[in-house]
Amino acid sequence: MSFTAVDIIKTKRDKQELSDEQIDWVIDAYTKGEVDPEQMSALAMGIFLNGMNRREIARWTQAMIDSGIRLDFSTLDKPTADKHSTGGVGDMITLPLAPLIASFGVAVPQLSGRGLGHTGGTLDKLESIPSFNCNLSNDDILQQLAETGAVVCAASADLAPADKKLYALRDVTSTVESIPLIASSIMSKKIAEGTGALVLDVKVGSGAFMKSYEQAKELAQTMVDLGKDAGVNTVALLTNMDTPLGWAAGNAIEVQEALDVMNGKGPDDVVELTVALAVEMLKAAGKPTPEAEVREALTNGQALRKWREMVTAQGGDPDAPLPKAKYSREILAPKSGTLTKLDALAVGVAAWRLGAGRARQGDPVQAGAGVLFHVKPGDKVIEGEPLLTLLTDTPEKFEAAEDSLKGAYEICETSVDFQKPPLIYERID
């Protein structure tokens, strides 16, 4: 059947449904360069403004999967499970989670990305480990899963190539914040990755991509539906990202925090979320495990041994010292009282401005840069004591980072009954 890009654009412009055949044709033609970027931009804006129904989103997702290869882990003698986070600040959960799950005999093919803007990238964090290799072939991934059980690396170029092309276009045409396009982008890669079970960590709050609870819940449900329609056992947790996770936002400092977690010394919120996601992943993979057993494995050396195996398998040195920033500056409490706010977005932007993140794909990042936070909402603070420590190799970045932190924290001098919000809001399946 023959189509034209103009007719397909007009269909969505006029708030009509795209047929399966129209979707298949336009994704294939755009991937091959037969649909111009300006035409796909117009279609993306039509989708942004007028949306898609469940059938359209599912077909759009499948068309992007079909634009490349789909990994096959059927030769493994163990089930597979993966986790995807929609991105936040201090979100290094993948680092302890992947080896933890692998230590229970479930393979974890974790294809991750690099950071952009205020949200950190898992690969940037891992690449702060000396010699760690994030670029593996598909054969290497399969071999490492068979031998070690966990791999965290970049996706190959032949995995959902239509999504890579469309993602870059959305970034420069102000069509990123579209639930159909976000959901299909995430799920096309995850389904093509070949995992049998998937747990989604959908962040909501100031430091998240989705600021409102309603939007985050809609995105989570859309992705769960897409996973189930594709035969992937999928569940989602809606989690709080108004306050950064843990005590660090950066690259090497988050790796160190992951090591602390696996040595039984990690922050309570990181441990809680890691355990919750692990319980969901093991259940989805057909290996339900009591929470107490999962928690014990995270801190008794079981996960840490698997971490060392994974790092070594990917060329890294698990005993090498992590990079440290050359310069530091403390942000001191201007008064005594109770900390009632620590804004995740502001902290993430500060870490980015210090060199931990990038403004454009391909920009370099500093391994040691970032922000350490010494208190969390609900904690007592004393005037003159440190609230935050800024880290960078380029001290001229301190001023811009400090500017981003204006209004990022609030201290109540009077007695306050601070109610800490939940870390996990809701489970969606």
Active-site residue numbers? 84, 163, 170, 185, 189
The tally of CA atoms less than 13 A away on the side-chain side of residue 30 is: 33
Q: Compute the Cα dihedral for 152, 157, 163, 166 and give only its sign.
A: positive
C-alpha 182/C-alpha 216 separation (Å) is 11
C-alpha 429/C-alpha 255 separation (Å) is 31
Residue 23 DSSP code: H
C-alpha 100/C-alpha 303 separation (Å) is 4
Helix axes 302-313, 291-299, angle to 10 degrees: 60
Write the DSSP string, 256-283.
Answer: HHHHHHHTT---HHHHHHHHHHHHHHHH
Structure tokens at 80: 């597979």
C-alpha 283/C-alpha 265 separation (Å) is 26
Alpha helices in 285-327 (DSSP H): 291-299, 302-313
C-alpha 383/C-alpha 41 separation (Å) is 52
Structure tokens at 185: 């982008």
Q: How many CB atoms lie within 10 A of CB 421?
A: 12
DSSP 3-state of 198: strand
107: nearest Cα among 68, 152, 63: 152
C-alpha 287/C-alpha 125 separation (Å) is 29
DSSP 3-state of 202: strand
The tally of CA atoms less than 13 A away on the side-chain side of residue 312 is: 11
